[in-house]
Amino acid sequence: MQIQTPDWVKHAVFYQIFPDRFARSQHPHKKLLKNATWEDWDAMPTLQGYKGGDLWGVIDKLDYLQDLGINAIYFTPIFQSASNHRYHTHDYYQVDPMLGGNAALHELLGAAHQRNIKVVLDGVFNHASRGFFFFHDILENGPHSPWLNWFKIHDWPLAPYTGDAPANYEGWAGNRALPVFNHDNPEVREYIMEIAEYWIKFGIDGWRLDVPFEIKTPGFWQEFRDRVKAANPEAYIVGEVWRDSREWLDGTQFDGVMNYLFAAPTIAFCANDRVDLQQVESRSYEPYPALSAVVYAQKIQELLALYDWEIQLTQLNLLASHDTARLLTIAQGDRASVELSTLLLLTFPGAPSIYYGDEVGLPGGIDPDARRGFPTESAWDRELLEYHRQLIALRHAYPCLRTGCYRTLYAEGMVYVFARQLDAESLLVLINSSTQAVRIDLHLAQAELSDRPSQVLFGTAQLAWNSDRLTVELPARSGCVVG
């Protein structure tokens, strides 16, 4: 079977937005909560507090995103919910009124698409919430509810709010706030499929699927793909799976996954022994222990061998997300770790994803600290912002960085070099993760490059050619792109 994935994703640079924390608008269309008492925007976030970000605010910032070079947005959940992160869905057909409701999403899609920016939403289809009407009916009517078989009820009475008694129903990860759907029930399955179709037809460009590995009903994700792709053949389906994902990346289910298998070795190589273990030990991706260039090269080759090339090109590559600490904090404030990792992110096959605020140096430990309000301009690290902007522009300018083949050319000590090549275009990416300046000799006769790299396109390095040997001098803790 020939695997097909959406072409636009191969050329996308994503920006992940946590809607409550990105931008709070004073939009004239805003009818509700104009005078709400929000948590202070710059205060440390709390588990239950709202800061009042909304979709109108995102519309106001589309020019900023476009200037950065962003052409796709992934939103964490936006549907009605009684939680600031909105993974506790109340109504799958209503955008949360705090975010502006369905009207705000409609306007956002129009404004984004006008700028050729795609929009992907978070689909939380494994579980709902205690406030979800169908489950709420069970809480009110017990065994008389017509929705009993929609969830996994074990006994009576149900105890949704107290830890002193058994919940008597299945909650995700034992959390009684998140009742799990019974996906073996054909009605539940159809309900979820219709939600997926509804929003694709509404105009969204794809779904990011929350904990999809929890849904084990045979054929569920195959049907999901068929239904979504029938509504829009170019819709993007990306799963949240942190480890080896071959089970879902066979061409019949997802187009890609959140590529934590890229994030982990990249952080371990670039941040090295600076990684604060307290920020990562409770998560599943393990960006430690420190890696040499040789081991990094090995892990990257193993990753590139896991999946079909069409899938590789539509992986969602990332360094941080709402589920992890931010890289700046993981690396204990070391900006070079962020820069080197970002250089590898923006030159790797697949769609890079920048977690909101990372491009301006927003710090943050593990949840909820990684979900801070987007900083005001006075607090931006403008050099880091410019670093991101230039790298994104480079990626857009050179097709080989998006769909070209990837070949490791050199890996010794803490120095890693690879080539991206497409037809007559080839670029070299060089990373020196050590604390010492280095001089390396690249024997490129066997590299079969389509042209002779002679110009530093990004970063700082000294180049000298001698026959088929390229000598490069790289400063400590730096990287460059040569073409």
- List the catalytic residues: 210, 240
Gap between the Cα atoms of 289 and 186, Å rounded: 46
Residue carrying structure tokens 């569920």: 220
Gap between the Cα atoms of 428 and 75, Å rounded: 33
Max Cα–Cα distance, the chain, nearest Å: 84
Token readout for 438 is: 């280095």
